[in-house]
Amino acid sequence: MGADTSGRHSHGGALPRDCRVVDVRHYGSFVAVELAAPDIAGRAQPGQFVMVAVPAPGFHLRRPLSLFRAGGDRLALLIEVRGKGTAALAAVAVGDTVSVSGPLGSGFPLDGVTEALLVGGGIGAAPLQLLAERLTGGGATVSAAFGFRDARQARLVSAFDIERLWVSTEDGSMGSRGTVVDLLDGVPRGPFTTLYACGPLPMLAALQRWAAAHGIGGFASLEAHMACGSGSCHGCVLPTARGYARVCAEGPVLPLAELVFP
């Protein structure tokens, strides 16, 4: 089930809200858009997402976007320009109105976590800012490792406010050379570390192997193309150790060890 750009379709019981743009910041090909969205921000949990109507004619399906920041009456989203739809979203200006449905999906489990390692790949790092804020606010020690293709993509790092943050680029143009998983052995961690991750499936597959080798458990937020965001279309189904799961409904957050990769 899609939604029209008028924002009147419901997604998974979350009614669309017309949210005013209050701030826009650019980080290379990435844009952080802050919205006045008290109904959504007040219920938002790290790892959840929203479905956003593209504010341009001809786009009938909403775009799923992770929650970058949420607090008070404000909600922030990170957008990477990949096509005409995301370009239209990234072109919004202060004062514009955007239709948003959410929050949707499962969030990251936080109870009892005292030490956390956050691992992000590219735009997959987006939900880790809100996660870091909630974990730190709960007294946990947080370290993060982000991986990017090159220094141009790594400009996204300046959007984040995480004190203990390590960066790698595949070409070595910023931070350490190699993948983010290559970087992890150099990131300090304690004996009770919980791993949290979001990024492309090849990164999560490599991270799953690394975590198993080091006896570390954790959770991953999955990226997937979504049409409805409510679980009704079954267009974002992925295999897990417990059977197939809909990323938008059972996910996007699932135990890392339960993911099944080709």
Question: Do 95 and 149 fall within a single domain?
Answer: no
Between strands 97-104 and 49-52, the pairing is antiparallel
Question: Do 90 and 122 fall within a single domain?
Answer: no
Question: Do 53 and 130 fall within a single domain?
Answer: no
Question: Do 119 and 228 fall within a single domain?
Answer: yes
Its domain, for residue 196, covers: 115-258
pTM of the model: 0.91
Query: What is the C-alpha to C-alpha distance for residues 26 and 251, in angstroms, rounded to an integer?
Result: 29
Can you state the percent helix, strand and coil of the chain, rounding each to 5? Answer: 20, 35, 45
Query: What is the C-alpha to C-alpha distance for residues 81 and 254, in angstroms, rounded to an integer?
Result: 26
Which tokens go with 111?
Answer: 């109870």
Question: Do 120 and 61 fall within a single domain?
Answer: no
The pLDDT profile of the chain, 262 residues, written as one tens digit per residue, is 223 323 333 344 477 899 999 999 999 889 999 999 999 999 999 999 999 999 999 888 899 999 999 999 999 999 999 899 999 999 999 999 999 999 999 999 999 999 999 999 999 999 999 999 999 999 999 999 999 999 999 999 999 999 999 999 999 999 999 999 999 999 999 999 999 999 999 999 999 999 999 999 999 999 777 667 767 777 788 889 998 889 888 889 999 999 998 7
Question: Do 84 and 144 fall within a single domain?
Answer: no
The residues, ordered by sequence, that sit 6+ positions from 159 with a Cβ below 8 Å of its Cβ are 25, 27, 30, 32, 68, 78, 129
Backbone φ and ψ of 220, nearest 5°: -130, 140
